[in-house]
C-alpha cells in the first residue's frame, strides 16, 4: 500500500505567505477506512487555469491536476497529472494564494462523497490498491458531477505522474453538457474565482 506523506505538501508552502491549511492536521476525522470518503474538485486559477481532482484515500486527499477539467463525455480523455497529497482539511479550502507555489485563486467547484468501484482481474480491491496498480474507478456523488470516473496511469512521456481521467458511460454521462465551462461558481460559497480575487486582493 502506498505511503502517504504530507512532507512534500508542507515543503512547497510557506505558512507565512499562504492562507492554505498548514497540513499539521493530516488525516480525516474518521481516519483511514472512512465509510463515506469525500472527493473535492478545486477550480484553481493560477498561472494556468486548471481543476484539482482530489480523492480521500487513507485519510489524505490524493490529488491530480486536470488542465481542462473533468468531462462528462465518455469519449473524451483528460490528462490528469498526479501532484502531492493534500491534507484532509484542504477539502473546504477557498481563498487567494499569494506569491509562490500555486499562486492564484481557489474555489471548491464540486464536492461530495464517492464509492470505490475499482477491480483488478474481476475482483474488487481498495482504492489504495487501485492507486498502487495505476487504475482507479470511483462513483462520484457530487452537486455537478455524478456517476463513475476512471483514472488510469499512462506514464505518458516517461512521466509516472501522468494519468488519464475518463467518464464511464453510465447514467451520469452527458455528451452535451459542459459544466467546467458553464458552471464556474463554488458549490460552497457561490463565489467565482474572480470574486475571491476582488475580495482578498
pLDDT tens readout for residues 68-111: 999 999 999 999 999 999 999 999 999 998 877 778 999 999 99
Q: Name which residue leads in pLDDT, 97 or 164.
A: 164
Is 157 a member of any domain?
A: yes
155 vs 16: CA distance, rounded Å: 35
Residue 1 in domain: no
Structural domain includes residue 2: no
Per the structure, the complete domain to which residue 25 belongs is given by: 7-200
Domains identified in the chain, total number: 1
pTM: 0.89
Residue 149 resides in a domain: yes
pLDDT at position 150: 98
Weakest mean pLDDT among 30-39, 103-112, 180-189: 30-39
**In a domain? residue 25:** yes
Range 5-12 contact pairs with CB under 8 angstroms and sequence separation of 24 or more = 5/85, 6/60, 6/84, 6/85, 6/86, 6/87, 8/84, 8/85, 9/84, 9/85, 9/86, 9/87, 12/84, 12/101, 12/102
Interval 52-67: pLDDT, tens: 999 999 999 999 999 9
Check residue 103 and give its pLDDT: 86
Query: Is residue 112 one of the residues assigned to a domain?
Result: yes
Domain presence at residue 110: yes
Task: Say if residues 45 and 128 touch (Cβ distance below 8 Å).
Answer: no
Terminal alpha carbon distance of the chain = 42
Cell of 51: 481543476
Amino acid at each position: 500500500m502506498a505511503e502517504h506523506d504530507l512532507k512534500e505538501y508542507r515543503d512547497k508552502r510557506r505558512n507565512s505567505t499562504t492562507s492554505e491549511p498548514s497540513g499539521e492536521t493530516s488525516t480525516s476525522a474518521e481516519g483511514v477506512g472512512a465509510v463515506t470518503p469525500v472527493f473535492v474538485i478545486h477550480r484553481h486559477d493560477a498561472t494556468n487555469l486548471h481543476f484539482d481532482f482530489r480523492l480521500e484515500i487513507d485519510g489524505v486527499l490524493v490529488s491530480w491536476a486536470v488542465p481542462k477539467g473533468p468531462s462528462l463525455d465518455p469519449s473524451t480523455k483528460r490528462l490528469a497529472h498526479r501532484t502531492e497529497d493534500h491534507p484532509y482539511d484542504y477539502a473546504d479550502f477557498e481563498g487567494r494564494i499569494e506569491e509562490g507555489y500555486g499562486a492564484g485563486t481557489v474555489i471548491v467547484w464540486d464536492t461530495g462523497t464517492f464509492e470505490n468501484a475499482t477491480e483488478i482481474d474481476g475482483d474488487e480491491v481498495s482504492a489504495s490498491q487501485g492507486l498502487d496498480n495505476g487504475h482507479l474507478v470511483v462513483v462520484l456523488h457530487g452537486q455537478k458531477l455524478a456517476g463513475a470516473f476512471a483514472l488510469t496511469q499512462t506514464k505518458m512521456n516517461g512521466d509516472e505522474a501522468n494519468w488519464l481521467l475518463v467518464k464511464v458511460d453510465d447514467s451520469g454521462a452527458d455528451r452535451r453538457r459542459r459544466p467546467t465551462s458553464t458552471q464556474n461558481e463554488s458549490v460552497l460559497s457561490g463565489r467565482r474565482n474572480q470574486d475571491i480575487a476582488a475580495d482578498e486582493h
